[in-house]
Chains A and B, each alone.
Chain A
Amino acid sequence: MANVRQIVVDIISDIAPDEDVTNLDDSVSLREQLDLDSMDFLDIVMELRKRHKVEVPQEDYPKLATLESCVSYLTPKFVTA
């Protein structure tokens, strides 16, 4: 099964290459830990679609707030993707 956490971290490190993503706290908001803005989250959504054919509808964007919520929201999508 795909390592969803690693997939998301890899995407973040490509989108925000200046950031240190090695010690992220999975339960804390990504925006609190990293210099990410709303456009960066659009990029994350775009990369999930491009690389993994995973779609995230606009109403679900808040579910990408923490790594923990990313994993719980995205994992079922990766199972069916």
Chain B
Amino acid sequence: MDDTQRIVITGIGLTAPNGNNLLEFRKSLLECRSGVKHHEIRYMGKQVAGMCEFDEYKYQSKKLRRRGTRAGSISIYCANEAVSDAKLHWESVDKSMVGVFLGITEHGNVETEEEIYQMHQNQLDWKLWSPHHNPRTVSNSPAGEVTLNLNITGPHYTLGSACAGGNVGIIQGVQQLLLGEVDLALCGGISESSQTFGIFAAFAAQGALAHHEDPTLASRPLDKNRNGIAISEGGCIYVLERLSDAKKRGAKIYAEIKGYAINSDATDFVNPNSERQVQCMHKAIKRAGLNIHEIDLVNMHATGTGTGDVNEARAVREAFQDSDKTYVNFTKGHIGHCMGAAGSLELAGNIPSFEDGIIHPGMNCQDLDPECEIKNLVINEPKLVGNITYILNNSFGMLGINSALIVKKYSV
């Protein structure tokens, strides 16, 4: 294939509850270090949650941090880290040909809750409602903050796609590059969901909020005793470019995007549909020109809910049948559910396996639910398997949005 039609990853910037760059994050995943802790959540008290501890002022002034949002702050940190990691000479990059495409689960709840809270603290004085509320809550806001910070004049927007957001942001970046709309895409997913009480209260109302006296054990996908989702925040932004451009500037290439698919269940607001998940994975594999036996590793979405995990396990079993060399892992046991960031973060966590040949384990699955049994599931201990060439990354979300992304170890 023509190098102008091949899209590669040349930079990764991330923050997760257990690491603020790829090296730290990967180390935590291999060593089974959790980022989930107890935090005080407004109105609800102590809850398990994953919060990020990156330096908010590394790339942003205190004033602009105050004016913007936590989602923007996460985005700015990740975007700058990605640009730096890609070793781009930023001053000479044509900013009008850079695009920012960020997947989000939701946006604006944090700011709206805060305004209402402040109004209640001040005798419902509506005139205290902040003039910043509109720019903070328009849905392009996190991507827009990145453009302001990095002086990018190409397109920017977010992609509202629930918890499939991380994959969807990357897919949008690929498509914009292939269309020739941009020469460089800063894309991925971000989430500040754990800063809002509403998401905790809603998952609690659904009976799907994880809890455990030891917060590091609260998120336990596929385990018989799992009790729900540990809500986390995070971000992961990639620098994507055409292989022809990456080669020209001698960039380090992490991986090549080979296939992707997004589809819809059209069955339920919340409950997943394993048949559509299978169709999504197969569509991505077909687009990549592969067969199921060529996929070396599948990262499950696996959130730790009762029905979600059973459905996805069924889908993965069905999608990969008797494939001997396809291993399966998941990431939310370590970091909880990073919502809009989940897809892109979890992909990043597995990308180093192209170099080290190790699959990081899914954490906290001490007593595997028989309904979640999958061939070649890697849990609790890392597994050295040698050569890994293709990774398929699942990310699903409410209202029945499914996404699957396939990346390949780079080879000429």
Contacts and interface: CB of A to CB of B under 8 A. Distances in A.
Interface of A: 15-19, 35, 39, 42-43, 46, 49-50
Contacts of B247: none
Interface SS of chain A: helix
Nearest to B129: A46
B62 A18 contact: yes
Contact of A15 (B61, B63, B128, B131): B63
Contacts of B122: 50
Contacts of A17: 62-63, 66
B131 A39 contact: yes
Interface string B55-94: 0000001110011000000000000000000000000000
B112 to A, nearest CB: 17
B63 A49 contact: no
A15 B66 CA distance: 8
Interface of B: 61-63, 66-67, 118, 122, 125, 127-128, 130-132
A49 B125 contact: yes
Contacts of A15: 63, 66
Contacts of A46: 128, 130-131
Nearest to B64: A18
A46 B66 CA distance: 14
Nearest to B135: A39
Given A18-B63, A39-B131, A43-B132, 6 more contacts: A15-B63, A16-B63, A17-B66, A42-B131, A46-B131, A50-B118
Contacts of A16: 63
A13 to B, nearest CB: 10
6 contacts: A16-B63, A39-B132, A43-B130, A46-B128, A49-B127, A50-B128
Contacts of B132: 39, 43
Nearest to B122: A50
Contacts of A49: 125, 127-128
Nearest to B125: A49
A15 B132 CA distance: 12
Contacts of B125: 49
A22 to B, nearest CB: 16
Contacts of B63: 15-19, 35
A63 to B, nearest CB: 19
Contacts of B118: 50
Nearest to B132: A39
A17 B66 CA distance: 9
B17 to A, nearest CB: 26
A16 B65 CA distance: 10
Question: Which residue, B63, B66, B127, has most C-beta atoms of chain A within 10 A?
Answer: B63
A39 B128 contact: no
A37 B51 CA distance: 32
B67 to A, nearest CB: 7
A15 B61 CA distance: 12
The 9 lowest CB-CB distance pairs between A and B, nearest first, are A17-B62, A42-B131, A18-B61, A16-B63, A18-B62, A18-B63, A50-B128, A50-B122, A17-B63
A44 to B, nearest CB: 11
A71 B130 CA distance: 24
Nearest to A36: B63
Nearest to B128: A50
A35 B118 CA distance: 27
B159 to A, nearest CB: 28
A16 B132 CA distance: 15
A17 B57 CA distance: 12
A16 B127 CA distance: 22
A46 B125 CA distance: 11
Contacts of B130: 43, 46
A75 to B, nearest CB: 22
Nearest to B62: A17
A43 B130 CA distance: 8
A45 B122 CA distance: 15
Contacts of B128: 46, 49-50
Contacts of B61: 18
Nearest to A47: B128
